[in-house]
Amino acid sequence: MLKRGLILCFVMLLISCRGGEQGSSFVSTQKFELKKSNFSELKGWKDDDFYLFDKALKSVCSVIVKNPRQSLNSDRLSYSLLAYKNHCQKMVMITDKNALKRYIESNFEPYAVVVNGQTAGKFTSYYEANIRASYEKGGVYQYPIYGKPKDLVEVNLKDFDASLPNQRLVGRVKNGKLVKYYTRTEIDNGQLDAPVILWGDDPVDIYIMQIQGAAVATLPNGQEVRVGYAENNGHKFRGIGSVLLEKKLIKPSEASMPKIRAWLKNNGDTAKKNMLLNDRFIFHQIVKADGPIGAMGLPLYAGRALAVDRAYIPLGSMMWMETTAPDGLPLNRAVMAEDVGSAIQGGIRGDYFWGHGEKALEQAGRMNASGRYYILLPKGTEVSVYGR
């Protein structure tokens, strides 16, 4: 990952591969701890108006109430689901946002996440793209947006042997053996058995949608449909921003969001050749939801969803985030840990969902800040932390 700096902001966006992916099963040797705090120590807690957070929390709670598991867990942290479930049953009935905040203050406790003795980590952001597309091929709509392939097979090594890593593999069966799935180049050459769900008018917009994992597609009649993540081909991700910088096709001073997108659109075959260097390919589906679908299968609400490394943070956890927005102002708010990403790795690593459209892209492309977060746990709940 590139470090902070406005000139590298969009490169960060294009390096962080999104798309509701399964995240990392790798657990590092980081020493992971929780340190009990209180709400008076949370910067900006009193000022957070809980706009849309109530919807995000209640959406997650609807899943937790129905969940038969005994605990919310990651490789490094687990806590009782029963206590959380009991509170969820009550919180979904609270209609006033201020009352919801008071309930959380009375029944939950914040715990600072500490890694190797430090509470600071890195926070980036992602967004939901815009594209133009049609259900029918024709005119400007010549570029396929593929659904999940019919021959794609997903396996987890741990399902076959408990002693094996919790590692997800994606491939296809050839001559009775599981082999790697087609790369982006092979797919571009036509080696794919997958439905086309839409036809787009711009290959660059489709490429950026793949990086983000989701988009809102405007049809020729003006209707909008939401395109969500369905699956990926299992190959490693390589960011187009880093490719262009490595090849010196752009200068660091040109690595802003509009300039990289404009470069890709203005450089035809050269742009395509370099985009094909990213073997990772995302397959999509049409979804009916209020927002893009995250790793929990729930719609993400703008400004209230956080992608985390679920090797550390259990999905479904209520979090308090303290970081800095691209304009330099504090960005302190309650969020739900309900998404993942292949580049989101580490005990204190957040990818903040900014929202939909060009304004969200402008913010998401510039966000690369230091910050911290707290996990909000029910009072008296049994917590197990597996530090190293």
The answer to whether residue 130 is domain-embedded is no
pLDDT digits (tens, 9 = 90+) for 95-151: 999 999 999 999 999 999 999 999 999 999 988 889 999 999 999 999 999 999 999
Q: What is the per-residue pLDDT for 337?
A: 97
Assess whether 151 and 257 both reside in one domain: yes
Q: What is the per-residue pLDDT for 141?
A: 98
pLDDT digits (tens, 9 = 90+) for 155-175: 988 889 888 887 889 999 999
The answer to whether residue 184 is domain-embedded is yes
Q: Among 252, 287, 322, where does a domain finish?
A: 287
The answer to whether residue 156 is domain-embedded is yes
Residue-number span of the structural domain to which 76 is assigned: 6-125+296-385
Q: What is the per-residue pLDDT for 257?
A: 66
Q: Among 268, 287, 306, where does a domain finish?
A: 287
Assess whether 188 and 101 both reside in one domain: no
Cβ burial 118-146 (10 Å sphere, 16+ → b, else e): ebebbbbbbbbbbbbbbeeeeeebebbbb
Q: What is the per-residue pLDDT for 18?
A: 52
The answer to whether residue 166 is domain-embedded is yes
pLDDT digits (tens, 9 = 90+) for 84-99: 999 999 999 999 999 9
Q: What is the per-residue pLDDT for 21?
A: 44
Q: What is the per-residue pLDDT for 243?
A: 93
Closest of 233, 229, 242 to residue 15, by C-alpha: 242
Assess whether 222 and 324 both reside in one domain: no
Q: What is the per-residue pLDDT for 22?
A: 42
Assess whether 143 and 175 both reside in one domain: yes
pLDDT at 5 over 50: no
pLDDT band at 256 (very low <50, low <70, confident <90, very high): low
The answer to whether residue 36 is domain-embedded is yes
Domain of 210, CATH number, reads 2.40.240.50
Assess whether 102 and 75 both reside in one domain: yes
pLDDT band at 3 (very low <50, low <70, confident <90, very high): very low
Q: What is the per-residue pLDDT for 368?
A: 87
The answer to whether residue 59 is domain-embedded is yes
Domain of 319, CATH number, reads 2.40.40.10
**What domain count does the chain have?**
2
Distance CA 208, CA 276 (A): 13
| Average pLDDT estimate for 285-293 | 90
Q: What is the per-residue pLDDT for 388?
A: 61
Percent of the chain with pLDDT over 70: 91
pLDDT digits (tens, 9 = 90+) for 201-235: 999 999 989 988 889 999 999 999 999 999 999 99
Closest of 374, 357, 338, 321 to residue 124, by C-alpha: 321
The answer to whether residue 131 is domain-embedded is no
The answer to whether residue 171 is domain-embedded is yes
Closest of 354, 308, 309, 314 to residue 331, by C-alpha: 354
Place of tokens 């605990």: 71
Assess whether 316 and 337 both reside in one domain: yes
For the chain, the average pLDDT equals 88
Assess whether 149 and 252 both reside in one domain: yes
| Cβ contacts of 48 within 8 Å, gap of 6 or more | 101, 332, 333, 334
Q: Among 254, 287, 320, where does a domain finish?
A: 287
Assess whether 161 and 241 both reside in one domain: yes
pLDDT at 74 over 90: no
Assess whether 278 and 308 both reside in one domain: no
Q: What is the per-residue pLDDT for 20?
A: 42
| Average pLDDT estimate for 66-90 | 86
pTM to 2 decimals?
Answer: 0.79
pLDDT band at 258 (very low <50, low <70, confident <90, very high): low
Assess whether 50 and 93 both reside in one domain: yes
Assess whether 60 and 11 both reside in one domain: yes
Assess whether 283 and 302 both reside in one domain: no
Closest of 12, 61, 129, 22 to residue 298, by C-alpha: 61
